[in-house]
Structures are given as structure tokens and as C-alpha cells.
Structure 1
Amino acid sequence: MNKRSFLKSLGLGVMGLPLIGKSDALATVNLLAPILKGSVLKAGDTIGIITPASALGNEETITTTKEVLQYFGFKVKEGKYIRERYGNLAGTDDQRLADLHDMFADKSVQGILCIRGGSGASRLLGRIDYDLIARNPKVLLGYSDITALIMALYAKIGLVTFHGPVGASTWSNFVAKTFTDQFIDNKLVTFSNPVNKGESIVQYKDRISTINPGIVEGKLLGGNLTLISGLCGSPYLPDFKDSILFLEEINESPEKVDRMFCQLMNAGILKQIKGFVFGKCTDCSPSAGYGSLNLDQILRDYIKPLGIPSYSGAVIGHIDNQFLLPVGVKVRMDADKGTIEFLEKALV
């Protein structure tokens, strides 16, 4: 059921709301409406490629992104401004916003892939035409700085988007399978870390660590820690009540990671969640000086006292082989086994 059908089913109920502004009325309706979902993709569909954050370094990134999508049998439409540069950004805010709006408005485009993350997506949030996107729900895939769009689109209109590889990612067979399972086959999958002992008698790579044992169900929300902590206090974070929060990070020292977890705690977010998954903290080495907390200590200080099912080490984040997670759907998480099981299809 999409938003349009739901609003129609409300009938005169919406008319009975108090006389308030349009945005307030929509916000009231959105509290009641089911989440919005894009459509399953099929060979021959057109995927739009955009750069809503940092600028691209070279033309080859566009070429390989197109080759990846063509591998799955898709046609590709380039955003008008994907080659632009404005400082470190992929064009001005107006240009990047135009590409985002154009791809959602274009009826010939069935899905949208962000070519890279970086920084700058948060600059767009206050100017996005959320009504336009709500009228045209479709797949949006990306991670890292794209977390800003993922969070805002769910907070504002309940759109299920996808935390996973960007065009510039390494598209391994593992990633290709998760892409097919999600977008073409629309499967209810269960994600767990790869088991690969190699020549060793025990597994050393991609191990999970249980923080608090248990199994829990809830809506899956999350993304990059820096982006989510940076949106605290804004209208672009969703309600985390009864959610399972997943986080990942890159190139941040432990003291900065600690500061961001403190922000989530002080903002009341950690008290609302039912479960927690931490992915990879890539290149998060301590800085020189008097020493530093390590990630295990940070998670022990902020997550352990919550007493909720939780684990770390999931293959989520700035790594080659990563889970592809639909944000906003109901899942079951097992903190002892380190699994995330989809209980609800993410596409229609």
C-alpha cells in the first residue's frame, strides 16, 4: 500500500483534522501512514546515477558504475550534474538537488544509485521536495554520507531506502548476490558474517562479538555514526522508538567515536532502541598522546548498560563485502548468532 492509496483510504478523516498548516497536517498523517516502498527492479529498467555529496575524482568512476548496472541488465541515466565540482562537492547545492529531484520525478527511472558518498548531502535536507518524492517512491541506494538522505527520507515521508554499496564501491560476487536478492528477487534474507577460516583452525576475520545476548524484533534504522550524530536535534532523524539501530564508521579516532556515542546518549536515542548492531570502524586508530579508549570499551560503556540484545563486528560499513540493508523495515536480530533476518519485504 503506497501513500496515495493510504490517504485515499482515510477518506474524510483527514478533513476532520484541526485547521493547521499543510506541513503540520502532512506530518500528522505521516504518523499514521504505512511506510513507502519502491518497486521491484527487473532487467531493462532504468537506474539513475547521481552524486549528491562529494565530487568524483575521475571519469572512470562513472564508467565502472554504468558497467556494474549494465551487468544486471539495467539501462543507465546520468544525472545532469554528476561531473560538476564546487570545492569538494559534486556541484552546487542547487545542482545536486536538481539531480535528486529530477531522478525521482522522472517516470522512466525505476531506481537511483548514488555514485559516491563523501560529504555535503546534509546541506540538501532543508530544501528537498519531500512531497515530490512521496508521490514517486523508488529505490535509493548508498551509504556513508548518503546516510543523511536515508534518515531524512524515512523521517519525513517514511520511504524505505537502502544502506549499501555506492557506484564507486568494489562490486564483488558477494555484493552482486545481495543486490540481486534484494532488488530483483525481493527476498526475505538473513544476513550473517561470512564464514571463512582459510587455512586456520578458527576464524580470525569478520568475527562478531556479543555485547548483550538475546533476540529482538523491530524496525531497522541506521547508517554512518558521524551523520546520525550530526543530525541530532534536527527534524531529519526518525523516531528511534522500538528500533534496531545499526552503525558504522571510518577514519575517526576512538575519542571522536566516544564523543558521538555520547551525543546519541544525551539526545535520548540510545534509550529508545530495542537492539543494536555495530559494523566496522575502518581505520579508527587511536591518536598519539596519552592513549585512548578502544572500541570495545566504548561499546561497553554506552551499549552494555542498556541491557538490550546487541553485537558488534557485522560486515556493515566501508568494506568491500557489506550487507545491503533496507532501512525502515521490520527485522529480527539475534545477538548471539550475529544475524539480521528480514521479516518484511522492502519492495512492492
Structure 2
Amino acid sequence: MIKKIYFPILFQGNLNKKNYFEGWYYKLVNKDKTISLSFIPGINLNSSDSHCFIQYILVEKEAIKSNTTTGYCKYDLGDFNTNYEPFSVTVKNSTFTEHSIDIDFQDNSLSLRGNIKLKNITPISSSFIMPNIMGIFAYIPNMECNHGVISMNHNLLGNIHINDRKIDFSGGKGYLEKDWGSSFPKHYIWLQCNHFDDESISLFFSIAHIPLHRLEFEGFICNIIINNKEYRFASYNLSKCKVIDISLNHCKIILENKVSKLEIFGNITDQGNLIAPIKGKMNKSIKEGISGRIIINFTDKLSKKSYTHFGENAGIEIVDY
């Protein structure tokens, strides 16, 4: 149990659970940043429609526009398999690990086949108080939605055939996280970007409604790596967060603690439909963009240094907020 808390990439559930989902999120961006592709292998357990799945979102940038394609490929529960050590999760003919993706599936829109290696994984820091990105909340059982950040940034090697086209992802960058529980939050904002003008910068942010037994509150977590140093803003470390401007396609967020201050400006440029869990069933349609733009203003209060950076190919979701 403790090992699962420290290593959230591992399968957190079991096949006897009810009203349960678990999904891994693999994001890939090619070297010239013209193609963004995310895979979400997962499992959904409930009394009426237990199954496993691979969900995907593909964004292809052209000179004056972007094209987005999404899909949800559903499989029998018997097509799901996971290995503990070394970690792997297999859905039908596709296998995902901490260091590789072997993809082989198709739906009515696309056929996707290929192999990608994930190099130089960048995990987040952890401790007894913060065993994963959820901090002390990681020890609380039966949370509605749990989150794990596996790699803030890594390099890609390999290619994927999308229909009859061979897309080379070598030299590109990736990101890896996951969610598990019974439902996505009833409202939330999620941002992720590791394609800034300074290539060493990686950002993850989320704020969401959190029910906790008889209580409920707005919880937030943010992790940023800048100049090879990791900074954490979170409800559990007494940071502050303000959402001061929000719409269906943009947001402005300010985070602050004793060590640093971060302003995030996020703008969604293109979106596709994905399926999210509600009370154990994959039946809610949400919008996600993985080609958004982000501007950050960051200040290290200890060194008195400030930075402004522009990011693209950002993952952004603003759901019912």
C-alpha cells in the first residue's frame, strides 16, 4: 500500500472495485511542435458496463489552423492487464510502461501503430509529508479523485504510424500523469506545459472542488521546475491561490508562498471532446486542448530574481468552473 502511494504510476485499484476508474495520461509532442498526441489507457469498473479503454486526442498544426481528432476505443475487461514490477499496463494490443509506449489500435477515424521510448524521466520530489503530488492528502482513502504526476518532462525516441503516415517523435518531449477514483471533480482547471522558450521549464497546475467526507473545499496543486529547481504551490503547504480571470477558453491565476510567486496566463487555442468519469461511469463529455498557450511570470523571493516565459503546446482544461 505504501509503495503505491510513493509510486502512483502503479495500478492503484483492483478488479473487484465498484464505481471506479483509473487512467494514465501520456502526452507526446514532436520535435517541431506541429503534432501533439495524448493517449489515455484506463479501466472503468461499475455494475452495468465494466470495460477498459484507450482514449486519444490528436492535434495537427497547419499554417493557419489546427485540426483536432479525438476517440474513445472501448474493450472487454479481459483485455486489461497490469504488471506491478516492472510496471506496465496493457489494453488489448497496446502496452504502456514508465519508459515506453507500444501502440496498436484503431477506430473509425484513425489507425495508430508504433513504438515510443521515454528517455530522461523527470519525477517530482517526494518526502514522507509529500509522498506524491497530493501531499498529505495522499494518505486519505477513498478520495473522489486522486492525482499523480509521474514525469514533468522527458525526451522521446521513436515513431507512430497515423493511418498511412509515419510520424517521427524523436527529439520531441513528453509528459506523464494519471488519475483514479470514482469521479472527476464537478469543476476544475488543469494546465500543463513543458514547451517554454526556456526548454528546461516544466509546469503543472490544477485547482478543483474537493469533497472530503462531510467537508468540501477548493484544493490546488502546482509544480514548476525552473532553472533546474522545483517549486511547489499547494493547499497542503499553506500557499495561496487566486483565480482572478476565467472564461471558457482563458484563465489568469496567481499563486504565492513565502518562497516564490507565480502568475499563469492560459489560453485555449483548440479543443477536442474527451470522456470523463462521473460516479464510476465514463459518461461525461469534457473539452481539452493540448495546443494551448501559456505565459508565466515567476519570482524567486529569496534570490530576488524574476522571469517571464512563453509556452506553447500546452494542455488546458477548464471544466464547469
Same fold (TM > 0.5) = no
More helix by proportion, 1 or 2? 1
More strand by proportion, 1 or 2? 2
Q: Which has the higher contact order (CA 8 A, sep 6+)?
A: 1
When normalised by structure 1's length, the TM-score is 0.30
Q: Which has the larger radius of gyration?
A: 1
